[in-house]
């Protein structure tokens, strides 16, 4: 199951950040799961819930953003936002769209109880589905 391995990647990132920053529990974890990532958010949540016990995510509130992806249309040459990889170009209805990125799940923010500061906001991909 795809979402299970992504959840494992997220846990790895959290574990690395925990080791590097010296925290043991996460208060809030915010993930970005772009609309074009091909990730079932409900399944991802389920997988994270299943894997979290005994990890730094055990008591964390997990927030998942779903920004639209970006693509360039080969017909009208516009750069457009896409909610679904199979959608036609919203500007001209063309179907020849090339995804420009924004299709990888990543950890956006990680808050820990001690300081409530974001400690892992850097752009780290947890998985890519091209
Ligand atoms: Zn177009």
Structural domain spans, the chain: 2-67+102-125, 68-101
Are 120 and 27 a contacting pair, CB within 8 Å? Answer: no
Options 3.30.200.20, 3.30.530.20, 3.30.2320.50, 3.20.20.140; CATH for 2-67+102-125 is 3.30.2320.50
Q: What is the DSSP letter of 30?
A: E
Task: Record the pTM.
Answer: 0.74
> How many angstroms does the Cα of residue 95 sit away from the middle of ligand 1?
8
> How many angstroms does the Cα of residue 76 sit away from the middle of ligand 1?
4
> How many angstroms does the Cα of residue 35 sit away from the middle of ligand 1?
19
Please, which residues bridge with residue 80 across strands? Answer: 71
The one-digit pLDDT tens for each residue of the chain (130 residues) are 589 999 999 999 999 999 999 999 999 999 999 888 888 999 999 999 999 999 999 999 999 999 888 899 999 999 999 888 889 999 999 999 998 876 788 999 999 986 545 555 444 445 444 4
Q: How far apart are CA 8 and CA 10, in angstroms?
A: 5
> How many angstroms does the Cα of residue 105 sit away from the middle of ligand 1?
26
> How many angstroms does the Cα of residue 101 sit away from the middle of ligand 1?
17
């Amino acid at each position: 199951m795809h979402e299970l391995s992504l959840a494992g990647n997220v846990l790895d990132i959290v574990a690395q950040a925990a080791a590097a920053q010296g925290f043991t529990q996460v208060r809030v974890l915010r993930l970005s799961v772009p609309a074009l990532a091909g990730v079932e958010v409900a399944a991802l949540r389920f997988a994270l819930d299943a894997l979290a016990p005994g990890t730094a995510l055990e008591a964390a509130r997990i927030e998942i953003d779903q920004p639209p992806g970006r693509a360039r249309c080969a017909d009208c040459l516009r750069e457009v936002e896409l909610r679904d990889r199979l959608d036609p170009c919203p500007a001209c209805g063309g179907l020849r769209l090339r995804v420009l990125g924004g299709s990888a799940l990543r950890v956006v923010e990680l808050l820990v109880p001690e300081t409530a500061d974001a400690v892992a906001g850097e752009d780290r991909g947890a998985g890519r589905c091209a």
